[in-house]
Amino acid sequence: MQASFSIGARENIELLKSKLDTEFAMLQNDGIKVSLEESPPTGGLTFLGYNIADYGNSSYSEEETRSIFKHYIANVVSEIIINYWEKGLLRDIIKHNYYYFLPEEQQVIYDIALNHLNHGAEPDDDTFVHYLSRKALVLQKLIEYLHTSDRLIIEGFIRFRLKDYLQEIYSAADKAVDDFMLEKEYKEFIKLLKYFVEIQEPRLETVQVLAQPSGYFKLLDGDNKNISSEYLDGFLIETGDTEINYEDLLISALITIAPSTVILHYKESDACSARATETIKSVFGDRVKFCDGCKICEKTRKARSSRERKQ
């Protein structure tokens, strides 16, 4: 008795055939032989017909062998869908739904969406959890389908049987567009801020920024004196010690003063103020200097250590 199965697809045929050949080669250890008959393309589809030509001396029954045979097929197809079709699906979704973006913008959106799908993990790392989660979903749907059918057209299966999986890809594309637009607006905003800084005369030559243990910021002039509120045009929130407790207010204060030099008394890698630091660097460019250690930094470091010990 022969078990036959056919797989049709418009693309990735050679890859599909190669991977299935590798999988079926493992069955030969049990004497199970699988033959292939490839049909000429019809309507853009190429069909691969597989038969169990010899059940060999396996301890499995014919029914169990056919189940294993289909499981091998499901495993290969799910892997190829995730590793190859997925990227094409994502590109098509972006191209169709966001056609009004320029090609280079669509590419940026695609890269962001791919990152969302993999939650920042490397796309080629088959061990990360989000890849495995999507593959498990596709694999389960394939196994369910193959229990009742001996014919599979991959593109049709994706479209009609993998709606939950497709929704993940659509959601990643939508989120990528939101992120892209926010980044675009941010860059336009930075350009505007840079313009404001460039056309203003510096109200102070030097402004020093201290990241306080409390999470606030403190501003000093070039003589290590607190910058008085007269320079800040109401941007400063009074805290009793001229501290600024919001990153946006820090940026506003610096732009108002437009100093020739901005000295940051904390490491560039400090996570406590990464967003503010990036904005300051973008707006002030070469005016920004990082202090590599001074009495002010040492005092702040000791205060932070003391605060952490009390916590």
For residue 150, what pLDDT is reported?
94
DSSP 234: T
CB 270 within 8 A of CB 242: no
* C-alpha 207, offset from chain centre: 37
User: Which tokens in the block code for residue 33?
Assistant: 């032989």
Give which of 5, 145, 1 is closest to 63, Cα–Cα.
1
What average pLDDT score do residues 292-310 get? 72
Type and span of the H or E element at 207: strand 206-211
Q: Where are the alpha helices (DSSP H) in 28-153?
A: 62-80, 86-97, 103-117, 129-146
Minimum mean pLDDT range among 12-21, 76-85, 109-118, 126-135: 126-135
Burial of 240: CB neighbours in 10 Å, binned 0-12, 13-18, 19+: exposed
Q: To 10 degrees, what angle do helices 247-257 and 163-199 make?
A: 30
User: Which tokens in the block code for residue 218?
Assistant: 């403190």
Q: How far apart are CA 20 and CA 58, in angstroms?
A: 20
Flag whether pLDDT at 197 surpasses 50.
Answer: yes
What average pLDDT score do residues 37-47 get? 90
Phi first, then psi, for residue 227 (nearest 5°) are -80, 125
Give which of 145, 144, 123 is closest to 134, Cα–Cα.
123
238: confidence class by pLDDT, cuts 50, 70, 90: very low
Q: How far apart are CA 271 and CA 2, in angstroms?
A: 64
Please tell me the pTM assigned to this model.
0.78
Q: What is the pLDDT of residues 206-232, one digit of tens each?
A: 999 987 766 678 889 999 888 866 665
More confident call, 17 vs 302? 17
Q: How far apart are CA 164 and CA 129, in angstroms?
A: 17
Cβ atoms within 10 A of the Cβ of 36, count? 13
**How do the domains of the chain map onto residue ranges?**
4-187, 206-310
Give which of 273, 262, 269, 265 is closest to 298, Cα–Cα.
265
Dihedral angle at the C-alpha atoms of 86, 50, 42, 10, nearest 10 degrees? 10
Cβ atoms within 10 A of the Cβ of 100, count? 7
Q: What is the pLDDT of residues 113-139, one digit of tens each?
A: 999 998 655 545 544 688 888 999 999
Q: To 10 degrees, what angle do helices 163-199 and 103-117 make?
A: 120
What average pLDDT score do residues 295-307 get? 71
CB 60 within 8 A of CB 31: no
Flag whether pLDDT at 303 surpasses 90.
Answer: no
260: confidence class by pLDDT, cuts 50, 70, 90: very high
Mapping DSSP to helix (H, G, I), strand (E, B) and coil, where does residue 5 land?
Answer: strand
> Domain 206-310 belongs to what topology?
Nucleotidyltransferase; domain 5 (3.30.420)
59: confidence class by pLDDT, cuts 50, 70, 90: confident
For residue 122, what pLDDT is reported?
55
Cβ atoms within 10 A of the Cβ of 177, count? 19
DSSP 226: B
